[in-house]
Chains A and B, each alone.
Chain A
Amino acid sequence: MAQADITQSGDGDTRLDKLTTADGTPLKASIRRAMRRNKLIAFGLAAPLLFFIFFSFLMPIFDMASRSVENHQIPEALPRTVAALETWDGESVPGEAAFEALALDIQEGQRSRTIGQAATRLNYQDAGMRSLIMGTARRSDQLEPPYKEALIEINDDWGDLDVWRLIERESGYYTTSYYLNAIDLTYSDTGEIVAQPEYRQIYVMLFIRTLWMSALITGLALLLGFPVAHLLATLPARHANLLMILVLLPFWTSLLVRTTTWIVVLQTEGVLNDMMVWLGILSDEGRLQMIYNQTGTIVAMTQILLPFMILPLYSVMKGISPSYMRAAKSLGARPPVAFWRVYVPQTIPGMGAGGILVFILAIGYYITPALVGGQSGQLISNYIAYHMQQSLNWGLAAAIGTILLFGVLLLYAGYNRIVGIDNMKLG
């Protein structure tokens, strides 16, 4: 289309500038315009998905993550107290001014029913704060100056220096308490960061347990899935399709059904134990405890996640030409050597894809461990769910969840570094 209006010039760029299309616009501008239109069309096509991801995925994640540091309950419910404590030295119980501010805040909070959320918030930090505040709030209409005496008369804990230090420490709009709690740390009475008492340390151990159990499950899935995928890829289509259905059928079955089936199979009075007793392998008293512990979680999750390993492996193996193996053999390699040095390296993209799929899914699992994991088989997600649904400590749930999210992103980055993400084939 470009009109060849070439004038002599030593410089390529200026020559391109001089090129024009039939209607006289410079070629460069015309190309740019066409490119821009293509980009707009491409963006327009992808826009619905982008908006969808933004509003239904990124925004909620951000919203949830922001809860892990949010602390609006206290400055909102106790604004006067927070202001009064700004000039406090923290060395001795504050004076009448702070008590007056607190009394007014509690009175107003009781009327507007906002004080309960602050009480709940402080109770996460120190058990007993809820009854201290709510008990005071119930009697707040009788509060009269001098407030210091009146409050201490209602509950002498108001004369406790540590209570005031706690309120002062948690008086900002943002807090680090949830993150500290999520890694088994806490503030001491004087405000230093210290380890939780040993009987409350739990989350670090759970993070480690989740990682190693997910790694183990990934390894087991690879061990069990590899031969099946190989079989699927090499059998004639007629048999392979049948086998494929055997892989897909459980994949399509509800997660809950498969999990509860494992309960029937594995429990002490279950199918497997009954069979072993009947065969005389076990005595009736020596039945094995295979469920409601780590074994249960590992067995059930490996089975449930197996298709996520088999399918990517299969798709990669399907693309490996059998002629490579024949060539290796014709050059003198014995079958195991040919398999190990020619076939296996070609399946690495499949192993990588299956491995990272299974591993990341396993890290986030919670229904299966909740049902068959007993205590020792619980994963970190079970505690996120617990804090979301039962204890209602959403800040702590958000902090644990955010740590988990960044952990997964880090692992992903590490994986990309070592294996290379473009080396992965998902199907």
Chain B
Amino acid sequence: MKLHKATLLAASSALALGVTAGAASAETLTIVSWGGAYTMSQQKAYHEPYMENNPDVNIVNEDKSANGLAGIRAQVQAGNVTWDIVDMLEGPAMTACAEGIVEPLPADEILADAPDGTPPSEDFVQLRECFVPSIVYATLFAYNKEAFPDGNYPSKVSDVWDMDTYPGKRALRKVPDGNMEWALVADGVPMDEVYEVLDTDEGIGRAFAKLDELKDDAIWWTEGAQPPQLLADQEVSIATGYNGRFFNAQVMEDQPFELMWHGQYFELDGWVVPRGKLTDRVKDYLNFATDTQRLADQAKYISYGPARKSSAPLVSTHAEAGIDMKPHMPTTPENFKNPIKKDAEWWADNGDAMSERFNAWLAR
């Protein structure tokens, strides 16, 4: 309601001043993110309140984060940076930082303290030199209950490999990240030793050998919207996907889906600023959008956990459905029993080699 008033006010004043004058005075912030329900949650939790506080600022969303690193690199190399803030995963953010195409973000200078005065460097889950995390999200297995009419549902990672007990195709993300870790877990490696095993050639061979068992029954997805769709169409019975997307399908669209928190593969997602774009306006926005209340607010719209310790107790109910969001957060203790934390550094080193090998393995 407030927003509508503000928009009306802005619109009428723009009319009064003449449209060109109004347009000229508005400052545009281009914020790049992942699109869909995720961008919508940022729009509601960060962008709209910020624009209400700062009527002269206009925030434009671009759904390009899937190619965020490529985009920033191309823009910086061409000397024409049009993005102000980019939502990015921890691993690519570290690569971008090492390449010098994003700005270092001195957290304690820019960001807001927690309400109790804890400085950001202690309050955030994991700050990096050029990266401020905003959410913790998980990639995990989910299944369509209708695909198992006898009521025998899968519950752990190794069940995904058990084609006899749990028939149906599997939808897996077309990247080695996650799949290799799960393959090792299914092969009997304890969750906290996954990266030790992966660090050896035998370990990598073992992961691929285990993935071989699924290969004939796998459909490989690339976009986050695909797995809920594939599950809903019953093209597959089990799919990996982002927990927020599954939540949306499960709760908002009433799909008969169930999430399998066992072996959830979690990583951090947050903000980077392309080189040359760390203006006072961008600092001000980051300060606002990553404060304790704002991060907790985002959980009203999507089931991703806030990346600030002080935000967790403030997580409440969903803005539309009115349900309690805590059981749907990856960071909730019951869901967090057997997680795998993506090792961003291991993947920064080995990602290229693993991707090539993975692609060759797939194409064969």
Contacts and interface: CB of A to CB of B under 8 A. Distances in A.
Given A117-B99, A127-B352, A130-B348, A370 B363 contact: no
Interface in A362-387: 370, 374-376, 378, 383, 386
Interface stretch (A198-206, A220-228, A241-249): A198-206
A297 to B, nearest CB: 13
A195 to B, nearest CB: 13
A115 B97 CA distance: 11
A269 B350 contact: no
B98 A200 contact: no
A148 to B, nearest CB: 24
B349 A131 contact: yes
Contacts of A389: 66-67, 70
A127 B360 contact: no
Interface string B350-364: 111111110111111
A262 interface: no
Contact of B356 (A113, A200, A292, A376): A200
B76 to A, nearest CB: 11
Contacts of A66: none
Given A120-B95, A370-B222, A391 B352 contact: yes
Contacts of B345: 131
Interface residues of B, number: 34
Nearest to B96: A116
Contact of B100 (A113, A205, A376, A391): A113
Contact of A392 (B70, B222, B234, B348): B70
B262 interface: no
Contacts of B219: 292, 374
A84 interface: no
Contacts of B357: 199-200
B70 A388 contact: yes
B185 interface: no
A267 interface: yes
Contact of A269 (B220, B235, B352, B354): B235
Interface in B199-222: 208, 219-220, 222
Nearest to A370: B222
B259 interface: no
Contacts of A112: 100
B131 to A, nearest CB: 14
Nearest to A209: B363
A123 B66 CA distance: 22
Interface in B76-91: none
Interface size range of chain A in the complex: 35 or more
Given A127-B350, A269-B234, A388-B70, A120 B99 contact: yes
Interface string B322-364: 0000000000000000000000010011111111110111111
B99 A202 contact: no
Given A119-B98, A128-B349, A134-B98, A199 B222 contact: no
B98 A268 contact: no
Contacts of B180: none
A177 to B, nearest CB: 13
Interface string A300-331: 00000000000000000000000000000000
Contacts of A378: 363
Given A127-B352, A131-B348, A269 B359 contact: no
A285 B345 CA distance: 45
A115 B98 CA distance: 7
B69 A392 contact: yes
Contact of B352 (A114, A134, A267, A393): A393
A124 interface: yes
B176 to A, nearest CB: 11
Contacts of B348: 130-131
B73 interface: yes
A58 B69 CA distance: 26
B355 to A, nearest CB: 6
A120 B235 CA distance: 39
Interface string A118-136: 0110011001101100100
Chain B: interface secondary structure? helix
Contacts of B349: 123, 127-128, 130-131
A355 B165 CA distance: 50
A199 B360 contact: yes
A202 B352 contact: no
Interface in B50-76: 66-67, 69-70, 73
B217 to A, nearest CB: 11
A202 B355 contact: no
Interface string B78-121: 00000000000000000101111000000000000000000000
B254 interface: no
A1 B66 CA distance: 71
B98 A116 contact: yes
A375 B363 contact: yes
Interface string A393-414: 1000000000000000000000
Contact of A200 (B70, B99, B351, B360): B360
A393 B73 CA distance: 11
Interface string A79-99: 000000000000000000000
A116 B352 contact: no
Given A389-B70, A392-B69, A375 B360 contact: no
Contact of B235 (A124, A267, A375): A267
Given A123-B349, A375-B362, A383-B359, A269 B233 contact: yes
Contacts of A119: 98
Nearest to A293: B219
Given A127-B350, A292-B219, A114 B359 contact: no
Contacts of A130: 98, 348-349
Contacts of B353: 127
A253 B363 CA distance: 31
Which of B350, B356, B360, B361 is packed against the most chain A CB atoms within 10 Å? B356
B45 to A, nearest CB: 28
A69 B229 CA distance: 42
Contacts of A268: 235
Contact of A374 (B66, B95, B220, B359): B220
Interface in A187-208: 199-202, 205-206
A199 B201 CA distance: 12
A154 to B, nearest CB: 16
Contacts of A200: 356-357, 360
8 contacts: A115-B98, A116-B100, A120-B98, A127-B354, A292-B220, A383-B359, A391-B352, A392-B70
Which 7 A/B pairs are nearest by Cβ-Cβ distance?
A113-B100, A116-B98, A127-B353, A202-B360, A116-B99, A131-B349, A389-B67
Given A131-B349, A392-B70, A392-B73, 19 more contacts: A113-B98, A113-B99, A116-B95, A120-B95, A120-B99, A127-B349, A127-B354, A199-B208, A199-B361, A200-B356, A200-B357, A200-B360, A205-B364, A206-B363, A267-B235, A374-B219, A375-B362, A389-B67, A392-B69
